[in-house]
Amino acid sequence: MASDAQSAGSDGGQKPGTRAARPLSPHLQIWRVQITSFTSIMHRFTGMALAAGTLLLTYWLVAAAIGPEAYSAANGFIGSVIGVILLIGWAWSLFYHLINGIRHLVWDAGYGFELDTAAITGWIAIIGATVLTLIVFIIAWAL
């Protein structure tokens, strides 16, 4: 059985290290951008942005642990132009990844695959993330 699995895994019948010239399915640049493909790409992109954003989150917590001066220096950076731009990007990524992540969990449970539903929930993720980001920053500025 093990040898069956191995030959199915490689290009069965080919010499090791060579590949049969089989047709390839069209790649990203061939397809028109659709809401489902766009939301999928954005899920990965925002996930990567959030992984990078852990640097900022850790810096902020470490600064708070070091003391008042380091904490106000961190808050000073977060309040700077670059800091606010990073924070807006981080907030949008977080909200988008949160809403679209829930969309993925619903798919994992077996629901929401109808094309209309998938399109609607995709727009909910994009618009929802934008609205939540706006609300959070309006509240933050009002405080």
Partner 1 sequence: MSIRTPIARARNHGSAKTGVHHWWMQRVTAIALVPLVIWFVVSLLSLVGAPHEAFTAWVANPLVAALLIALIVAAFYHGAIGMQVVWEDYIHGHLTRIVVDLVTKGVLTLLGLLAVISILRLAL
| Close Cβ partners of 123 (under 8 Å, ≥ 6 residues apart) | 35
Question: Is residue 80 a contact residue for partner 1 (CB under 8 A)?
Answer: no
C-alpha to C-alpha distance for 35 and 130, rounded to whole angstroms: 16
- Return the residue of 41, 57, 115, 120 that touches partner 1, per CB under 8 A: 57
Question: Is residue 62 a contact residue for partner 1 (CB under 8 A)?
Answer: yes
Question: Is residue 86 a contact residue for partner 1 (CB under 8 A)?
Answer: no
Question: Is residue 108 a contact residue for partner 1 (CB under 8 A)?
Answer: yes
| Close Cβ partners of 47 (under 8 Å, ≥ 6 residues apart) | 97
- Whether the CB-CB separation of 59 and 45 falls below 8 Å is answered with no
Burial class (CB in 10 A: 0-12, 13-18, 19+), 142: exposed
- Return the residue of 68, 81, 113, 114 that touches partner 1, per CB under 8 A: 68
Sites of contact with partner 1 (CB under 8 A): 44, 47-48, 50-51, 54-55, 57-58, 61-62, 64-65, 67-68, 71-72, 94, 98, 101-102, 104-105, 108, 136, 139-140, 143
